[in-house]
Amino acid sequence: MPDSMNAPQSKAVKKKASGSSFYTAMRLMPARERDAMFAIYAFCRKVDDIADDGVGTRPERHEKLEAWRADLDALYADAPSAQAAFLAPAVAQYGLRKEDFLTILDGMDMDVAEDIVAPDLATLDLYCERVASAVGRLSIKVFGMDEGPGFKLAHHLGRALQLTNILRDIDEDAGIGRLYLPREYLFAAGFKSLDPRMVVSDPKVDTVCRQVAALAHDHYDKAQSVLTTKPKGRIATSWLMGAVYSEILSATEAAGFAPPRHRVSLSKGKLLSLVLRSKFL
């Protein structure tokens, strides 16, 4: 049995992750740390599926998330923890904090409670904190970073990655009635309706998306400022994630956000060059 997951689960999770930038970054890590990261990834996938797969009513999906809370409570009390049991080795070895897992559940519950449509900037930032920066705080524990610089890195890199994903997924999100672009930017750009499908089909959305991209770039820059101080721990993985998604964001900006859009990915050559650079950190 691997350190963090049983073999069938590990294979299933790695299959889902394969081909992603996350998987590329995780392959740079030693096996024990990699298994812990895949355990964190598996948790995120499971609870994200509850929020996004649309199976069951909203109260039913909320109850599924509550079941995860109960199992996490049991895990940290050294009691039988049912569906959270696979996290036990990673929690014990790396001191992963229960509050960060619970914060991720809070983020999932935001999507379950109602479809998020044009949140204000404060709500968007809270959402990024819960679904992304909390994951970063778990990750830096595995990377062996001290909490001071590690949590600062998680704050900025988590938000940068989440904002990048929001910009990549605006069509997919609009298809299920969601719109994560901030209402302040939408109203300033002249939008009268906040209907997701109408917004993403309007050329004015390009202006809004570029403002969100500027927010993301600011967070990438602040994350990089932490990494340039060479803090203790395995920083190459964080650097690679930031470098890959920052390049994706820049490529997406170059292509433009006005419809019709296409999802941007990095070439294998560009990805390989970033991987090689990360090895010298």
Does 115-281 carry CATH code 3.40.190.10? no
User: Above 80 in pLDDT, residue 281?
Assistant: no
What pLDDT, on a 0 to 100 scale, did the predictor assign at position 278?
Answer: 83
User: Above 50 in pLDDT, residue 3?
Assistant: no
Instruction: Count other Cβ atoms within 10 Å, centred on residue 87.
Output: 24
* pLDDT band per the 50, 70, 90 thresholds, residue 13: low
Residues of the chain with CATH 1.10.600.10: 115-281
33-44 pLDDT, tens per residue? 999 999 999 999
Collapse the DSSP code of 179 into the 3-class scheme (helix H, G, I; strand E, B; otherwise coil) and give the result: strand
- Name the residue with higher pLDDT: 4 or 197: 197
What pLDDT, on a 0 to 100 scale, did the predictor assign at position 27?
Answer: 73
Token couple for 159? 């938000």
* pLDDT band per the 50, 70, 90 thresholds, residue 171: very high
| C-alpha to C-alpha distance for 221 and 156, rounded to whole angstroms | 9
- Name the residue with higher pLDDT: 107 or 8: 107
What is the distance in angstroms between the CA of the first residue and the CA of the last residue of the chain?
32
Token couple for 24? 């590329």
Amino acid type, 19: G
User: Above 60 in pLDDT, residue 19?
Assistant: no
State the pTM of this model.
Answer: 0.91
| C-alpha to C-alpha distance for 246 and 252, rounded to whole angstroms | 10
Point out which residues pair with 281 in neighbouring strands.
Answer: none
* pLDDT band per the 50, 70, 90 thresholds, residue 8: very low
